[in-house]
Amino acid sequence: MNLNLEVTSLTPFIEKKWEVVDGANVTAVAPTPGQATTVRVCISACDDNGVGDLTSVTASLTRPNTAPEGITLAMENNATAQADCLVATVDPDFVGKNANGTCDLYSGTFTIASTEASGDYAITATATDANQTSGVESNILAFGTCSGVQINQSLISFGNVAPGQSSSPMDVVLTNICNTPIDIEDDKPALDRTGGGDTIPASSISETLDGALPIVEAGVGECFDADLAAGLAATMTTTLSVPLATLPGTYSGTKVLTALAASICEPGT
């Protein structure tokens, strides 16, 4: 007696797809100024005909206002990959389904620079079988905003300057390391003499930013209406004028530059 059976071809599916950042399952990310965020994409790809029926599992990322790009994936069913993907917490059913041969774990990573646009980052996963039928799952990772400025050096040395004279102009480069336009608050210090006995006032320090003079903004103090866009740089030029009757010696102080929202430091406000 012969037996005959045709097994139905079922459509593969993405049981779960999720993102992990810094060891946490996330749907939103707050950027860290000056640092890239690494996002791990985790995918539980399944086929009730068995994972042997899967011919491909792919993922793509669509950043704000850009075309989709591929995310390189690897099939990783090992304990390390499961731990990295927080499988026990996010998809506890995966272990059993992997054991019976219906699901595999895929993962890959992508990065978002702190200067990239805030908004929705769309991630799409697709599982395809031998019959070219597919299961698709998409979700959104929200990338937030940050504000920050980076200085290319930590010390300005004016050298030797005689009373009644001015130093050579000294340049430092300021870079917007976040994804929102910024103005610059400039907190100039008085310079105190080592050992005491004298001070050079903050008013002796003059500065420009890409040639523009600072303005005085209520509640802020001296600031530059820079409107410096994400990732761009500007040059701050500083000159020190030493007043007459200043005692000889070494003078020092700490200058603080702060990134402000670009709407804060505005002429006439």
234: CATH: 2.60.40.1570
| Measured CA distances, 160 to 163, 191, 200 (Å) | 10, 14, 14
Of 127, 143, 159, the residue at which a domain comes to its end is 143
From residue 180, alpha-carbon distances to 131, 132, 232, 261 in Å are 47, 44, 11, 7
* Residues 81 and 163 grouped into a single domain: no
| Predicted local confidence at residue 217, as pLDDT | 86
Summarised one tens digit per residue, pLDDT across range 180-209 is 999 999 999 999 999 999 999 999 999 999
Lowest mean pLDDT among 35-39, 122-126, 165-169, 262-266: 262-266
- With cut-offs at 50, 70 and 90, classify the pLDDT of residue 114: very high
Residues 139 and 171 in one domain: no
Does 154 share its domain with 253?
yes
- Residue at 209 is within a domain: yes
State the pLDDT at residue 238: 96
Residues 52, 154 within the same domain: no
Cβ–Cβ contacts within 10 Å for residue 186, how many? 21
Same domain, 27 and 122: yes
Q: Which residues pair with 239 in a beta bridge?
A: 206
Given this model, what pLDDT does residue 269 score?
61
- Give the domain extent around 128: 13-143
Instruction: Kindly state the average pLDDT of the residues 77-101.
Output: 95
Q: What is the mean pLDDT of the chain?
A: 95
Amino acid at 211: G
Q: Does some domain include residue 267?
A: no
Mean pLDDT of 172-178: 98
Closest residue by Cα to residue 92 from 101, 103, 139? 103
Contact 76, 57 (CB under 8 A): no
Average the pLDDT over 71-97 and give the result: 95
Determine the average pLDDT of the residues in 136-160: 97
pTM above 0.75, yes or no: yes
Q: Does residue 268 fall inside a structural domain?
A: no
Distance CA 167, CA 144 (A): 42
Is the pLDDT at 7 greater than 80? The verdict is no
Rounded to whole angstroms, how far apart are CA atoms 170 and 157? 8
Report percent pLDDT > 90 for the chain: 91
| CATH code, domain carrying 60 | 2.60.40.1930
- The residue-averaged pLDDT of 206-225 equals 91
Report the side by side order of strands in the sheet with 28-29: 28-29, 134-143, 119-129, 54-62, 69-71
Give the count of domains, the chain: 2
Residue 155 has pLDDT above 70, yes or no: yes
Q: Which of 14-28, 97-111, 254-268 has the lowest mean pLDDT?
A: 254-268
Specify the pLDDT at position 204: 97
Q: Span 21-37, mean pLDDT?
A: 97
Phi-psi region of 268 (alpha: psi -120 to 50; beta: other; left: phi over 0): left
